[in-house]
């Protein structure tokens, strides 16, 4: 039975999640230097292109066909038999379920680009995105959502702490290690060129996240309402704590810190959104700020140029959220399971298992993909190209073209406007 209310909300929620990818592009573009603005944004646009195609070809099928332990089947490859009948366990059309899940695969693929901006060649990123969206995202989505071994074993993940947040975060770590640091990293101050883009991007991401978490109940029922509301509460608490941490560290509340806090809060609540009470969600927001803040302060002191801190904002905050479920899940709110504090210690074990296994798989598989890809094509631009900027080198455009000194290349013979 299709429920028209559920279907209406999921149509809107899918569009909301799709907005998160260009929002992420804006967020990332503001964080890089001006000569790499377009290239950084284009990596997110590339995810919209590549990950949508791979998802329709095989990704969706591998993630959601059947409930084998490790990986799904190929019966839904090319979206075969994905039509208007309700998807098992929901009251929405299977086709819409597929589109909603596609938007997750897209934004997650875009997230990983944050580790390699300002130096990875665009063509190599396209190839990487195609492989990663299938070999990492679809597999982890199967484990967490598609009836794979983690979900079957009792691990709870409401909206993607495993495939989306830990998946992207720990893949970003591997990608930064294989691609290597930017040539000026550790030598020059590499500063964000437009903090307003960063704030606007973070705000739009938060807006889209209401569809991301609120849609992950696939209905207009209680879990969706709880998840939606928690998506408001948690990031607000993360913001407050982040302000305090910023003040303690440097006597200023920073704008880029605030934008980061919004992301960290949204990420933290993602796995737990429909499983914990609103009060617990507020506590999660406050707690999740701390480990991510520590990693964000520590990472630039290392040689690791994980440029836009995907590990700290997504990997670590996602891990915090997944573990938090093990303590604070509350059956009276979610109707599914209790956590340690409400009498079920086993749930913490299920959550801890995901926290151990997901980072290892994401890291190892991403490392392998990039190493193999590196044998076939150069992964990064040359030092000279990096110095000139990826916008001009990779795209032949500038984000802030003045037009001064630009000479129109005339066509051999002007074409009449009206033939």
- When binding is defined by CB under 8 A, the residue of 1, 409, 417, 418 that contacts another protein is 409
Among 406, 413, 414, 416, binds another protein (CB under 8 A): 406
List the structure tokens of 224.
Answer: 């969706």
CA separation for the pair 15, 76 (Å, rounded): 23
- Stretch touching another protein by CB under 8 A, among 152-160, 215-223, 264-272, 407-415: 407-415
Closest to another protein by CB, 405 vs 416, is: 405
Helical H segments across 60-219, by residue range: 60-64, 94-112, 122-132, 139-144, 149-153, 167-179, 195-214
Smallest distance from another protein to CB 188, Å: 6
Contact between 181 and another protein by CB under 8 A: the answer reads no
Which one of 3, 67, 331, 398 is in contact with another protein (CB under 8 A)? 398
Q: Restricting to residues 230-249, which ones interact with another protein according to CB under 8 A?
A: none
Among 3, 184, 331, 344, binds another protein (CB under 8 A): 184
**CA-based nearest residue to 265, from 331, 225, 224, 320:** 320
Is residue 388 close enough to count as binding another protein by CB under 8 A? yes
Nearest to 109 by CA among 38, 172, 151, 182: 172
Under a CB-based contact definition with an 8 Å cutoff, are residues 408 and 48 in contact? no
The answer to whether 128 touches 370, Cβ cutoff 8 Å, is yes
Chain-centroid distance of CA 281 in Å reads: 20
Pick 344 or 398: Cβ nearer another protein = 398
CB-based contact 64:144 (threshold 8 Å): no
The residue within the footprint of another protein, chosen from 78, 294, 377, 387 (CB under 8 A), is: 387
191 binds another protein, rule: CB under 8 A: no
CB 397 within 8 A of CB 37: no
Q: Of the two residues 188 and 302, which places its CB atom closer to another protein in the complex?
A: 188
Crossing angle of helices 345-376/167-179, nearest 10°?
30
Q: Which stretch binds another protein (CB under 8 A): 48-56, 71-79, 120-128, 381-389?
A: 381-389
- Shortest CB 387 distance to another protein, Å: 3
Residue ranges in contact with another protein by CB under 8 A: 184, 188, 384, 387-389, 392, 396-398, 401, 404-409
């Amino acid at each position: 039975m299709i429920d028209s209310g559920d279907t209406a909300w999921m149509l809107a929620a899918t569009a909301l999640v799709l907005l998160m990818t260009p929002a992420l592009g804006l967020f990332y573009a503001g964080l890089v230097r001006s000569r790499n603005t377009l290239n950084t944004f284009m990596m997110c646009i590339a995810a919209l292109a590549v990950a949508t195609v791979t998802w329709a070809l095989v990704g969706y099928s591998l993630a959601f066909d059947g409930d084998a332990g490790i990986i799904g089947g190929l019966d839904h490859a090319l979206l075969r038999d994905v039509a208007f009948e309700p998807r098992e366990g929901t009251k929405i059309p299977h086709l819409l379920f597929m589109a909603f899940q596609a938007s997750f695969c897209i934004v997650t693929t875009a997230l990983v680009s944050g580790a390699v901006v300002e130096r990875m060649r665009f063509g190599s990123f396209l190839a990487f995105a195609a492989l990663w969206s299938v070999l990492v995202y679809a597999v982890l989505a199967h484990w967490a959502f598609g009836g794979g071994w983690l979900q079957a074993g009792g691990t709870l993940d409401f909206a993607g702490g495993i495939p989306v947040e830990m998946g992207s975060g720990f893949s970003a770590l591997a990608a930064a290690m294989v691609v290597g640091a930017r040539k000026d990293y550790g030598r020059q101050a590499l500063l964000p060129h437009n903090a307003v883009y960063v704030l606007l991007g973070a705000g739009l991401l938060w807006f889209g996240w209401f569809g991301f978490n609120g849609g992950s109940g696939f209905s207009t029922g209680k879990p969706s309402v709880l998840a939606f509301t928690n998506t408001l509460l948690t990031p607000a608490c993360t913001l407050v704590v982040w302000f305090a941490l910023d003040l303690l560290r440097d006597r200023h509340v920073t704008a880029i810190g605030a934008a980061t806090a919004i992301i960290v809060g949204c990420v933290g609540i993602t796995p737990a959104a429909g499983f914990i009470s609103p009060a617990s969600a507020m506590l999660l927001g406050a707690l999740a700020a701390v480990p991510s803040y520590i990693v964000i302060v520590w990472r630039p002191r290392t040689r690791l140029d994980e440029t836009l801190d995907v590990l700290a904002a997504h990997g670590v905050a996602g891990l915090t959220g997944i573990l938090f479920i093990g303590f604070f899940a509350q059956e009276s709110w979610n109707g599914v399971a209790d956590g340690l504090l409400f009498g079920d210690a086993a749930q913490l074990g299920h959550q801890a298992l995901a926290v151990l296994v997901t980072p290892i798989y994401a890291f190892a598989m991403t490392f392998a993909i990039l190493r193999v890809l590196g044998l076939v094509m150069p992964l990064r631009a040359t030092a000279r190209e990096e110095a000139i900027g990826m916008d001009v080198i990779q795209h032949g455009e500038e984000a802030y073209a003045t037009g001064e000194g630009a000479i129109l290349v005339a066509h051999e013979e002007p074409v009449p406007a009206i033939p």
